[in-house]
Chain A
Amino acid sequence: MNVNSRTAEKIAKGFIWVIALTVIAVLIFIIAFILYRGLSVINWEFLTSVPRRSGRIGGIASPIVGTLSVTVLAVMIAMPFGVGTAFYLAEYTRGGIVTRIIRFCTESLAGIPSIIYGLFGFIFFVDVLGLDWSILSGGLTVAIMILPTLIRTSEEAIRSVPKTYREVSYSLGGTKWQTIRKAVVPSAIRGISNGLILSVGRCVAETAALIMTAGDELVMPRSVMDSSRTMAVHFYTLVMEGLSERNAYGTAAVLIILVFLINVVANAMINRFVAKGR
């Protein structure tokens, strides 16, 4: 080990530390700013009353319910399809032309703006299937929208499981299914759940597609067939229509806290799962 490589090592290390700390600082600033302006708005009444006068006054109870139901619905629909497809791509096909076409399709669709999914959802779910503007239409649309991300991240996680794991399982006489369940899933679960959390994030955050499918209703929804505004849509409307900056900050703060809670719960669940799997 000569002096040069040691200096290079030090410089590189220092450089990476600086960048990482800067990123943390910027990220903390973004979150802190929204929370600082928003937390003072949040109180029990803000959380439990429905918006009034287009959101100028009143709370955000119905957008909260709308957000949660759309997200739960979308993830429940998308998860089996997305993760299943990822397993099929990673374990059952051998990099043939079909796999490549599928991957191609999913990657291209990952970049299509959500508004196009929204338009598709509007014409297909809202109109043709007659589901009207509803939480169900919104959930189905967003479910399709998050599929590419879900497939890509899950597939990557499955592929990054070392080959040796599978070989050991096969050499012990395990079937393909047993190998997947006992050898692949436990080590891929962290990556898969990372993808899931990303997808949940996209659902919670989606604006454009949901305006066109879940609708814009401020009244509390009573079933999945009712229309409801989600928090992101509500926030966007408050900001862009200039209705109430105060309530906009409040909504954004609740959104951030919600995303935080989702992450905490998801992580706790993953950790338990990983611990049990081993």
Chain B
Amino acid sequence: MKRLILILIIMLSLGLLSACADSGASGEKTTRVVVAGSTSVKPYVDILMEEYRFLYPHNSVSVQGGGSSAGVRAVRSGIAEIGMLSRALTADEQDLWSVEIALDGLAIIIHPDNLVNNLTIEQVRGIYTRSITNWSEVGGHDAKIHIISREEGSGTRSAFQDLVMADEFISQRAVVQNSNGAVRQLVSGNRDTIGFISLGLAEHQPGMRDVKALMLDGVAPTQENVLNGSYGLYRAFLFISAQEPTGAVRHFIDYILSDSGQEILMVEGLISVSGRISE
């Protein structure tokens, strides 16, 4: 028995060593592009990646999550070639190269059974500062409003803060969830809640309960309304890099900005950009 365990351990460690050596050798032959960062952007890039791998099977690209800031750190230290950001660059990140890959609308969502269909920006702000605390105050049923927000630092939250809250702040009593999915799940299960998520995820999804996306000042949250400028709640998804990308990295970014790449993102609910490159 003991000998068996010993043999097993030796075999495993040999296997590990050879695996290490193996990957070390193959690592020199192909350049591996690592994309890392925002968990909001990742699902979309995952989908792009499948297509990209199919089209260019020899280019090795790997996608990692971890959050926007992890993406910045990874790009700075060279672990990743591309960072994904769902927020704007902060003051001390201005030296990084960046490009918008898509726009993402922000939908204010409520339970489908809630009678409210339309809110003004002021009403939404009032709800999130808790100066409006009952649904009946905005034309709904008589119940306390449960507000759901995202965590500090999240791109979705900072977009909401900038676009809706202006110089006021989200109440500390707000329930905080750390993903679009969790907010959606919570809102779809409770009639008294309100939340905000990525526009693409507010639509019907197979196997999931529905949520209702509210009209803002009478404008429905749709891709067209974002594009024609009548629906103002959206933010940009960024790709960043330590310097102007070349080679395999450039190839991947070009693919995403190409018509077929943008087409995939549109189908998934994002809004296409025409490849505005900022320095």
Contact = CB atoms under 8 A, between A and B. Distances in A.
A272 B1 contact: yes
B267 to A, nearest CB: 11
Contact of A276 (B1, B70, B179, B180): B1
Contacts of B23: 222-226
Contacts of A127: 73, 77, 79
Interface stretch (B43-51, B114-122, B216-224, B255-263): B43-51
A18 B43 CA distance: 47
Contact of B19 (A53, A223, A242): A223
A215 B64 contact: yes
A179 B179 CA distance: 55
Contact of A241 (B1, B22, B50, B180): B180
B43 A241 contact: yes
A126 B9 CA distance: 25
A52 B208 CA distance: 18
Interface residues of B, number: 39
Contact of B70 (A122, A132, A222, A244): A122
Nearest to A229: B65
A239 B181 contact: yes
A227 B179 contact: no
A216 B66 contact: yes
A76 B43 contact: no
Contacts of A226: 23
Interface size class of A (residues with CB under 8 A): 35 or more
A180 to B, nearest CB: 15
B39 interface: yes
A273 B1 contact: yes
B62 A241 contact: no
Nearest to A269: B1
A23 to B, nearest CB: 28
B20 interface: yes
B16 interface: yes
B7 interface: no
Contacts of B70: 122, 212
A245 B185 CA distance: 11
A241 B181 contact: yes
Given A216-B66, A239-B181, A242-B205, A223 B22 contact: yes
B179 A54 contact: no
Contact of A216 (B9, B65, B205): B65
Interface string A115-126: 000000010001
Contact of A242 (B13, B65, B180): B180
A84 B84 CA distance: 43
Contacts of A239: 181-182, 185
Interface string A68-82: 000011001000000
Interface string B1-32: 10000000100110010011011100100000
Given A223-B22, A245-B207, A212 B66 contact: yes
A211 interface: yes
B185 to A, nearest CB: 6
A133 interface: yes
Contacts of B47: 53-54
Interface in B36-74: 36, 39, 42-43, 46-47, 50, 62-66, 70, 73
B46 A53 contact: yes
B150 interface: no
B212 interface: no
Contacts of A53: 46-47, 50
Given A53-B50, A240-B182, 7 more contacts: A53-B47, A72-B12, A215-B64, A216-B42, A225-B19, A242-B205, A245-B207
15 contacts: A53-B46, A53-B50, A54-B43, A72-B12, A76-B9, A127-B73, A132-B34, A136-B16, A225-B20, A225-B23, A240-B178, A240-B179, A242-B179, A242-B185, A242-B205
Interface of B: 1, 9, 12-13, 16, 19-20, 22-24, 27, 34, 36, 39, 42-43, 46-47, 50, 62-66, 70, 73, 77, 79, 178-182, 184-185, 201, 205, 207-208
Q: Which 10 A-B pairs have the closest CB atoms?
A: A242-B181, A223-B19, A225-B23, A241-B181, A216-B65, A54-B46, A54-B43, A240-B179, A223-B23, A215-B64
